[in-house]
Amino acid sequence: MFPRRSRFLGPRSAALTSLLALAVAATACGTPAPAVKTGTGVTDKTIRLGALSDLSGPFGPLGEAVVQGNQLYVDKLNADGGICGRQIELDVQDTGFDSNKATQLYFKMEPTVLGLLQVVGSEITSRITPDMLQQQVMAAPTSWSSDLLGNPYMVVVGATYDLDVINSLDYLLRQGKLQKGDTIGHIYLNDPEYGGNALQGSQFVADKMGLTLKAIEVPPNKTDFTAEIGQLKAAGAKAVAISTYPQQTAMAVGTAAAAGLTVPFLVSNPGFDPSVLASPAGPAFQQLVLVSSSVAPYSAKIPAAENLATAYKAKYPNGKPSLAMVYGYVVGIGYAAILKRACAEGDLTRAGVQKAFHELTGVDTGGLTAPLLFSSSNYPSSRQSFVLRPDPKTAGGLDIVDPLKESDLVRQRIG
């Protein structure tokens, strides 16, 4: 019991006494959640985030790995007390990479979540974007398309497809494996957000460096690459960029090795699945493939990656280590930084979170990526890329052959 207030205390003293009483009571009951404005997906105890992943379609292995990375960071956050005194809940739904199914799942999920920690698929992202804009749903798409830039609700974590291609081609130029007048090839999906955006990178380098580009567009159901590899070999291609599904990448590289087109194949990171290294195409991947990525591989010799690998093995002892898992964890770092800033500003509504997003000038990921710059949605959050080489003896299947770097050509591209 608190003592009765004396009748001689004035109004200001009475108010102070009341506040002190409340503070003592709060201390006795434990630390409460900070008082902030809240809205959809946020209660006094939880913050609910959604994930529209592909767990059973063409990007199934990638989607599962990204979910695992997301969950590992959510676990770490919650163990450290959550955000704003609230635990993070993750609602994961499998779209099977089906746009119609994904749209239905989104509309069911949207009224229950603050935002989306993952959306796999360019077409899926495009389908739900109008409603996301209207409802102010902030999302981290598992996509690096430059077409997403300029959308104030898209948290694009890393360099865009075109910049990754530019940085990897720059690596070949610096190594003396490409010269002015050479021909390069690019096999790309007829998907403007993925294949089309990656092609912009190779076209930019060709124009700037005096190379001839042989571009070959393929549909998503393409399974035989004999004709395409034949065209590139006949054209005398000295290197080939490839931006396709993982299964198609394996087919194309295996076909190239069998046909004697033993030149560097620069693979966009969504097109690489480490399980290919145990397939008949594995030796060809070791010999020919370089993977461009703005995210560090699983076995990178940096403390943040080593700590993550330890946590991954503890939670998923039968899991398959991959770069995609690291990416999912990095997305968690970036999204949590935004939520923490929104908490500090006292506003965990969707509008408050979006405002916090565009106030962040840099997010430290411990070297898993370059520091992420979110302050302008018109520019990529990173411009630097690793160049990686497949290695079946390495957990996650990738070794670093060139560290994070932003090429002069990327600087010219960004302007």
pLDDT in tens, 207-237: 999 999 999 999 999 999 999 999 999 999 9
**60 is a domain residue:** yes
> Could you tell me if 206 and 242 lie in one domain?
yes
Residue 264: give the domain boundaries.
161-293+388-414
- Per-residue pLDDT for 2 more than 50? no
Number of independent structural domains in the chain: 2
Which residues make Cβ contacts (< 8 Å) with residue 243, sequence separation at least 6?
161, 165, 186, 187, 188, 189, 194, 195, 198, 199, 267, 268, 270, 271
Structure tokens at 232: 């590139």
**19 is a domain residue:** no
- Per-residue pLDDT for 11 more than 70? no
> Could you tell me if 287 and 184 lie in one domain?
yes
Identify the pLDDT of residue 362: 85
pLDDT in tens, 310-346: 999 999 999 999 999 999 999 999 999 999 999 999 9
> Could you tell me if 360 and 289 lie in one domain?
no
SS3 label, residue 348? strand
pLDDT confidence tier of residue 191, bands split at 50, 70 and 90: confident
**125 is a domain residue:** yes
Domain with residue 115: its CATH number is 3.40.50.2300
> Could you tell me if 244 and 195 lie in one domain?
yes
> Could you tell me if 230 and 286 lie in one domain?
yes
pLDDT confidence tier of residue 121, bands split at 50, 70 and 90: confident
> Could you tell me if 203 and 179 lie in one domain?
yes
**21 is a domain residue:** no
Identify the pLDDT of residue 34: 57
231-253 mean pLDDT? 96
153-162 mean pLDDT? 94
pLDDT confidence tier of residue 22, bands split at 50, 70 and 90: very low
- Per-residue pLDDT for 100 more than 90? yes
pLDDT confidence tier of residue 370, bands split at 50, 70 and 90: very high
Compare 3 and 201 and report the one with higher pLDDT.
201
pLDDT confidence tier of residue 361, bands split at 50, 70 and 90: confident
- Per-residue pLDDT for 14 more than 50? no
403-409 mean pLDDT? 97
- Per-residue pLDDT for 17 more than 60? no
pLDDT over 90 for what percent of the chain? Answer: 84
Identify the pLDDT of residue 375: 83
> Could you tell me if 311 and 354 lie in one domain?
yes
Average pLDDT, the chain: 91
Instruction: Specify the pTM.
Output: 0.87
- Per-residue pLDDT for 369 more than 70? yes
- Per-residue pLDDT for 174 more than 50? yes
> Could you tell me if 402 and 330 lie in one domain?
no
Radius of gyration of the chain (CA): 24
Burial bucket for residue 31 (CB in 10 Å: 0-12, 13-18, 19+): exposed
> Could you tell me if 50 and 145 lie in one domain?
yes
> Could you tell me if 214 and 237 lie in one domain?
yes
Structure tokens at 137: 């749903």
CA–CA dist 215, 203 (Å, integer) = 9
**242 is a domain residue:** yes
Identify the pLDDT of residue 35: 82
> Could you tell me if 223 and 196 lie in one domain?
yes
> Could you tell me if 195 and 260 lie in one domain?
yes
Element (H, E) at 323: helix 323-344
**308 is a domain residue:** yes
**29 is a domain residue:** no
**365 is a domain residue:** yes
Identify the pLDDT of residue 415: 77
